[in-house]
Structure 1
């Protein structure tokens, strides 16, 4: 009986993990299955700027694949992936807070807040980071709530 319960709990764990991976892959902002349009998530923190990653230098965390510009950044990511992942699945933070919509981003328009990466839409004379900065506390709270509803 113990063996049966062990095998059952193991299968249940893998099943739940697999469902979480599928949900993340379906809800995250991915381009050809790559997050942040191929930009290195660690570079935002370590280099202080958006740096394009290399397709031959990747890591996958819970179904979402990231590119890295250098091996050291990949190592940082592997040690603590949740620290470097963008908020709201890589969608525009402003749009997530304003309306709960998943809106594309410009990977070069970002902000680090409390050691978390936020990305923003910036095209056609519309830079949502500027609007975010005017009401950050309110928009962040709403975005957190909207994302929890999306990802559950």
Structure 2
């Protein structure tokens, strides 16, 4: 009886999550941290992003966001849509193709004041061949691709 109850509980959890669609922010399976724990404000400030600290965090769209310092945290909280990655940090190229894939914070670009993440180096090279076209496609697909 205990096994049956456990099976039913697990099944309901999976079905409930499937019916709810995908979360609006990509986080890894074992973490609820957006952008892999990188300070998303730092992408706009230097040539290389920096990891955020557990001392400077905020919640946004169901995920925890980390920042290198209190100033960057305050900037994000004042305007999260400016600093959060496009498409919730999912791979920008994948969204342009109509599906979701993880975004890797090490493969990124800023275009027109927006932060875009891609799955890996090879995917980013595809995306960089026509970023404006892929952005138009991804904007059209988002957020229905979450469903």
TM-score range, shorter chain: 0.7 to 0.9
Distance 1:76 1:112 in 2: 17
Q: Give the TM-score taking structure 1 as reference length.
A: 0.75
1:116 to 109, 114, 117: 114
1:144 to 129, 139, 144: 139
Gaps of 5+ in 1: 1-22
Cα distance 1:62–1:28, how it changes in 2: closer, same or farther (>3 A)?
A: closer
Gaps of 5+ in 2: 1-19
Alignment of 1:1-152 (within 5 A): 26-31=23-28, 32-97=31-96, 99-122=97-120, 126-151=121-146
State the secondary structure of the residue aligned to 2:23.
Answer: helix
Q: How big is the shift at 1:145?
A: 1.1
Whether contact under 8 Å (2:100, 2:145) holds in the other structure is no
Structure 1 runs (4+) deviating above 3 angstroms are none
Task: Give the number of equivalent residue pairs.
Answer: 126
Q: How big is the shift at 1:151?
A: 4.9
- The CA RMSD measured in Å over matched residues stands at 2.0
Whether contact under 8 Å (1:25, 1:63) holds in the other structure is no
Q: How big is the shift at 1:33?
A: 1.1
Q: Give the TM-score taking structure 2 as reference length.
A: 0.77
